[in-house]
Structure 1
Amino acid sequence: MNESHFPAPPATAAPALRRMFVRDMVLDAHIGVHAHEFGRTQRVRINLDLAVREEAGPQGALMSRPGVGRDDLARVVDYERIVLGARAAVAAGHVQLVETLAERLAELCLEDSRVAHVRVRVEKLDVFPDMQSVGVEIERRNS
């Protein structure tokens, strides 16, 4: 079992949030600051954890305890859009820092105003032979 998953957040009294996540996406990225890292790819693992506001209830108010919503993709954050956007961000060209890639991924997730908060983890997998990964985890909020 892979231990890279985020720990489950404790239950809160936050009104009507759902957690949407992308786990253990492994991509070949052009990333790094050292000369030997240019012109080649390195494996990175990406994990995304989004806190998404539930759809509005009657009169546009957020529901504190929503029932079963419409069975309609338009009412939720589409994880396929997030996955395809993450793949495109990695494929867009060389990035020097894992921090920069993480910030770009956070911006991608926060483009949807329903995303209240995002946690992004980017790990380089093959840097040191005596460890599984090195990387960064950031958190960002929508205003």
Structure 2
Amino acid sequence: MDWRTASDSVRVFLKDVAVDLSVGLHPWERHPERPTRLVINVEMFADWPLADGAFINYDHVRQRILSWAGRPHVELLETLAEEVISACFELPLVQACKVRVAKPQVFNEAAGAGVEIFRKRSAS
């Protein structure tokens, strides 16, 4: 399925899920006593309509994100985005997903900085 050209698709999303953890490459980001606030947005795409009784359990992905609190330091936001993508594709109905991981308070002069990855489920 190519969700951009499919005649009928559904987009399931999580908006602005917040979690604090030690993340970043800068020396000032490596203090576990001062974790960084992250805001994560997730979009999952599937064919529509879903089979009777079928649904995309976004709580599975939300719980994965919330489990990050207290984990060891992570250098790259891309690492976290890939973990969310993996959680999305653990849901068999999801055919594509877009994950955005942002640091809203990293720079005084910017509303945020981060990474966004879009991925389609591989055919294999």
The aligned residue for residue 59 of structure 1 is none
Q: Structure 2: where are the runs of 5+ without partners?
A: none
Native 8 Å contact 1:127 1:134 kept in 2 = yes
Q: Structure 1: where are the runs of 5+ without partners?
A: 1-10, 57-68
Is residue 37 of structure 1 aligned with residue 20 of structure 2? no
Q: Tell me which of 52, 76, 80 is aligned to 2:55.
A: 76
1:106-142 deviations in Å (ceiling 9; x for gaps) = 1111111210000000111111101110011101111
Indicate the percent of aligned positions where both proteins have the same amino acid.
32
**Considering only CA atoms, is the larger Rg found in Structure 1 or Structure 2?**
1
1:66-115 deviations in Å (ceiling 9; x for gaps) = xxx44xxxx11112111111111454332101111111111111111210
Native 8 Å contact 1:110 1:141 kept in 2 = no
Is residue 125 of structure 1 aligned with residue 119 of structure 2? no
Native 8 Å contact 1:90 1:101 kept in 2 = no
Is residue 93 of structure 1 aligned with residue 77 of structure 2? no
Residue identity in the other structure for 1:111: E
Q: 1:53: how far off?
A: 3.0
Q: 1:89 to 1:108 in 2, by over 3 A?
A: farther
- TM superposition score normalised by structure 2: 0.83
Q: 1:49 to 1:117 in 2, by over 3 A?
A: same
- TM superposition score normalised by structure 1: 0.73
Cα distance between partner residues in 2 of 1:12 and 1:99: 24
Native 8 Å contact 2:40 2:101 kept in 1 = yes
Q: 1:89 to 1:52 in 2, by over 3 A?
A: farther
Q: 1:22: how far off?
A: 0.3
Q: 1:46: how far off?
A: 0.5
Cα distance between partner residues in 2 of 1:120 and 1:43: 16
Q: 1:13: how far off?
A: 4.8
Q: 1:15 to 1:90 in 2, by over 3 A?
A: farther
Native 8 Å contact 1:45 1:123 kept in 2 = yes
Residue identity in the other structure for 1:101: L
